[in-house]
Amino acid sequence: MPEGHTLHRLAAQVNRLFAGRHWRVSSPQGRFSAGAARLTERVPERAEAWGKQLFVHLGGDIWQVHLGLYGAFSFRGDESFTGAASLGAPRSRAEQYTPRYDDAGWIIPAPPAGSVRARVQVPNGWADLRGPAKCQVLNPMQYQAVIVRLGPDPLRQPEGATDQQLLEQFRGNLDRRRISIGAALMDQAVIAGVGNIYRAESLFVEQLDPDIPVQQLDAAQVASLWETLTGQLRTGVAEGIIRTLRPEDPLLGARGSDRNPRRHWVYQHQGTPCLRCGESIRMRELQGRRLYWCPGCQRR
């Protein structure tokens, strides 16, 4: 499932390519026909991400997209539609396309490939949305009802809020839970945007046992975890990938000179020696998702 950094990159791309421009919206698959009719022939004002949710604002209508496990946006167009990367679940490479235009000067898109839930188009390009968990149009009250249930997103700072206030919100959300920190980080009402990879990697860096109850974490541990997650997510936005392990990381010690090509400390490395302590990395199911951790580094 795409994690929070992907959605923030997606929002930035939608803003760059579509915001402030007259667009057309359709639903080749048919499952979003009513929503597309509300959005088409209008001008999107802005896109924003909150955790794993994308919101595109058009006056009193807000288009909500949650990519889920299989959702993805693909972008195509002419040479002026540059730098448009596909974002979300991996997709097969699109066939070569030679731009053609109608009499009004709008590009003629390639025929939809697969089940396209929504297609948005401007004169020089288009984007196709496939396989989302959610794709619907909200009114302002419905939008507020969604975001009020979301925890703080380390990648967004609401107007008037400070990093310290977001940290306090995170700490307060943890205080109201009676679950492990490994479970809490996957709860989007506790912290928005963290997924399976960031959970595993942040807990490893902080040397926190995933099974420790959140009530047993002191203020310094919560603050350090928030700082680590914030840094990891911001790096993900900047680089477009989740890379939590770097050859120069001081935690690697002498191994840093090996320029190990791994991108992660523990995620999907079960059964291999921990690069920090040598213990075998483990994996198990937690609430239907795979949890990765090092029993040597992450002890209570």
- Which of 24, 31, 42, 289 is flagged as catalytic? 289
Question: Shortest CA distance to 167 belongs to which of 225, 110, 111, 128?
Answer: 225
Q: 289 catalytic, yes or no?
A: yes
Report the DSSP pairing between strands 125-130 and 289-293.
unpaired
What's the residue count for the chain?
A: 300
CA distance 274 to 193: 26
User: Coil, strand or helix: which one is 225?
Assistant: helix
- Which of 9, 52, 117, 119 is flagged as catalytic? 52
Tokens at 197, concatenated: 């990879």
Question: Shortest CA distance to 70 belongs to which of 91, 53, 39?
Answer: 91
- Which of 2, 28, 109, 210 is flagged as catalytic? 2
Phi, then psi, of 120 in degrees rounded to 5: -115, 135
Tokens at 203, concatenated: 């807990």
**Cβ partners under 8 Å of residue 215, min gap 6:** 175, 178
Q: 52 catalytic, yes or no?
A: yes
User: Coil, strand or helix: which one is 246?
Assistant: coil
Q: 227 catalytic, yes or no?
A: no
Question: Shortest CA distance to 203 belongs to which of 178, 230, 185, 223?
Answer: 185
Q: 3 catalytic, yes or no?
A: yes
- Which of 3, 48, 201, 206 is flagged as catalytic? 3
CA distances from 222 to 89, 206, 207, 225 (A): 31, 10, 12, 5
Residues marked as catalytic: 2-3, 52, 289
